[in-house]
Amino acid sequence: MKKNKLVWLCTDCGADFPKWVGKCPACGAWNTLKEYTVRAEEPGLRIRKDKPLQDKSPVPLSLVAGDTATRMDLLDGELNRVLGGGLVKGSLVLLGGEPGIGKSTLILQSVVRNSNLKTLYVSGEESPGQIRLRAERLTDADAVEHCLLYGETQLETIMETALDVEPDLLVIDSIQTIQTSRSDSSAGSLSQVRECTAALLSFAKEYELPIILIGHITKEGSIAGPKVLEHLVDTVIRFEGDQNHQYRILRALKNRFGNTAEIGLYEMKSDGLRQVTNPSEMLLSGTQGDLSGSCVGVTIEGIRPLLVEVQALVSSAVYANPQRSSTGIDYRRTNMLLAVLEKRAGFKLVQKDVFLNIAGGLTIQDPALDLAVLSAVLSSNLDLPISREICVTGEVGLSGEIRAVSRIQQRITEAEKIGFKSMILPADNLHGLEVDKLNIRLIPVKQVGEAFRVLFS
């Protein structure tokens, strides 16, 4: 008989090692290795032998049916798009996010409004009564018969019930509350979470039942983390945003069945999450004219162009070390940009505190926002407002050069649609651009200095 094996598992990256070490050799994180027992026996998955299983014999590629017909419409445009065009049958999807961000709301509102889909909603966190109360805010709860609520936490019982009820979709809220008898540690521990997910993966594949797992994740990404589950599941989507703002972004971090560049945008309302179809208008709606320290940048998130307002505040430093703070923009990139400003444009920022913020609580990764960040900082420093009719896009290099950005045509179209009169863009982006039919004036620049002259003179 095989013996159980003891390994050390990194809670950050999921790699395992035969011995404990202080620093994970795979990802370099400190003090993340936890003890974990690998069971020797075969997973006792086949709960019901009488249920037909998929035929597992090898098939020539030419005879394998494509998966186009096996996607399910979740009646939520943003969610469908992030999943790559709907939920694939038999796939295991992990929805991660900080507590309270709206994961349960997102899934619940999609399943209760979708009467074509019989859903088994397993909740280990809230009682069916509490879920009913929440569902009443989202839809006419009396009319919902296709969604079965189930307050169970024992994995084997859940699987048995799923086989009896035969739902089209199984939702587990959350994976940290479920436990299996195959592991003797407490619910939410690393080994329980991993064991349950592995069992659910085979279950999904064997019975072609799509499963959505909800998992809590902390700011650092650990706590018996969905992180360690990321390579077990087919798709990882994350719901992020600032709890104090109403906007939420749904991002695909991994997708075996689609593109990870897609994002979905939502707004949290009193009756659930509303899809945001014109994000730029929404993000710019609160801006007032003629305030210094604000600049509108044209970015691309996923494949969607997005106009965002960068806000900067530059003030005299009180302490010997000037403060630098940025919300929604990478801190190191901010420091690099400030150094460029100092060196290439001759502005002395050493004695200044700099605070940066993206309006609306979004986090932007697109480097094309660089020029907007610098312009906002400079605008605040000089106390000169930037015209509300101009927007900028461009990545800034270390020597202050403005580098070309991706998908320029889309960015221009979006800025034009929102009603901007002119747009500063990298000169290198002008090649092959159809400019004659545009209703917006394009101002190509090669260096940060040229852009500043346009903005501040």
270 binds, among Mg ion, ligand TYD, none (CB under 5 to 8 A by kind): ligand TYD
Span between the terminal Cα atoms of the chain, in Å:
81
360 binds, among Mg ion, ligand TYD, none (CB under 5 to 8 A by kind): none
The nearer residue to Mg ion, 131 or 390, going by C-beta atoms, is 131
324 lies in the binding site for ligand TYD (CB under 6 A): no
- Binds ligand TYD (CB under 6 A): choice among 71, 81, 103, 344: 103
119 binds, among Mg ion, ligand TYD, none (CB under 5 to 8 A by kind): none
Among residues 397, 376, 377, the alpha carbon closest in space to that of 445 is found at 397
The nearer residue to ligand TYD, 112 or 371, going by C-beta atoms, is 112
Closest distance of CB 173 from Mg ion, Å: 6
Q: How big is the chain, counted in residues?
A: 457
**Using CB under 5 A as the criterion, what x/- string covers residues 116-155 for binding Mg ion?**
----------------------------------------
Closest distance of CB 124 from ligand TYD, Å: 12
The nearer residue to ligand TYD, 9 or 106, going by C-beta atoms, is 106
Q: Which stretch binds ligand TYD (CB under 6 A): 20-28, 66-74, 270-278, 422-430?
A: 270-278
104 lies in the binding site for ligand TYD (CB under 6 A): yes
- Residue 120 CA to residue 216 CA, distance in Å, equals 20
Residues 116-155 within binding reach of ligand TYD (CB under 6 A): 134, 137
The nearer residue to ligand TYD, 171 or 455, going by C-beta atoms, is 171
Residues 100-119 within binding reach of Mg ion (CB under 5 A): 104
Q: What is the 3-state secondary structure (H, E, C) of the chain?
A: CCCCEEEEEECCCCCEECCCCCECCCCCCECCEEEEEECCCCCCCCCCCCCCCCCCCCCCHHHCCCCHHHEECCCCHHHHHHCCCCEECCCEEEEEECCCCCHHHHHHHHHHCCCCCCEEEEECCCCHHHHHHHHHHHCCHHHCCCEEEECCCEHHHHHHHHHHHCCCEEEEECHHHCECCCCCCCCCCHHHHHHHHHHHHHHHHHHCCCEEEEEECCCCCCCCCHHHHCCCCCEEEEEEECCCCCEEEEEEEEECCCCCCCEEEEEEECCEEEECCCHHHHHHCCCCCCCCCEEEEEEEECCEEEEEEEEEEEEECCCCCCCEEEECCCHHHHHHHHHHHHHHCCCCCCCEEEEEEECCCCCCCCHHHHHHHHHHHHHHHHCCCCCCCEEECCEECCCCEEECCCCHHHHHHHHHHHCCCEEEEEHHHHCCCCCCCCCCEEEEECEHHHHHHHHHC
268 lies in the binding site for ligand TYD (CB under 6 A): yes
129 binds, among ligand TYD, Mg ion, none (CB under 5 to 8 A by kind): none
- Binds ligand TYD (CB under 6 A): choice among 74, 79, 94, 101: 101
CB 343 within 8 A of CB 314: no
The nearer residue to ligand TYD, 99 or 449, going by C-beta atoms, is 99
Cα torsion through 10, 14, 17, 22, rounded to 10: -20
248 binds, among Mg ion, ligand TYD, none (CB under 5 to 8 A by kind): none
Closest distance of CB 135 from Mg ion, Å: 13
CB 238 within 8 A of CB 250: yes
Structure tokens that stand for 323 in this block: 């403060």
- Binds ligand TYD (CB under 6 A): choice among 241, 272, 328, 426: 272
**Using CB under 5 A as the criterion, what x/- string covers residues 63-102 for binding Mg ion?**
----------------------------------------
268 binds, among Mg ion, ligand TYD, none (CB under 5 to 8 A by kind): ligand TYD
The nearer residue to Mg ion, 177 or 311, going by C-beta atoms, is 177
- Site for ligand TYD (CB under 6 A): how many residues? 14
244 lies in the binding site for ligand TYD (CB under 6 A): no
The nearer residue to ligand TYD, 4 or 244, going by C-beta atoms, is 244
100 lies in the binding site for ligand TYD (CB under 6 A): yes
Q: Which stretch binds ligand TYD (CB under 6 A): 5-13, 16-24, 194-202, 267-275?
A: 267-275
Q: Which residues bind Mg ion (CB under 5 A)?
A: 104
Q: Which residues bind ligand TYD (CB under 6 A)?
A: 97, 99-105, 134, 137, 268, 270-272
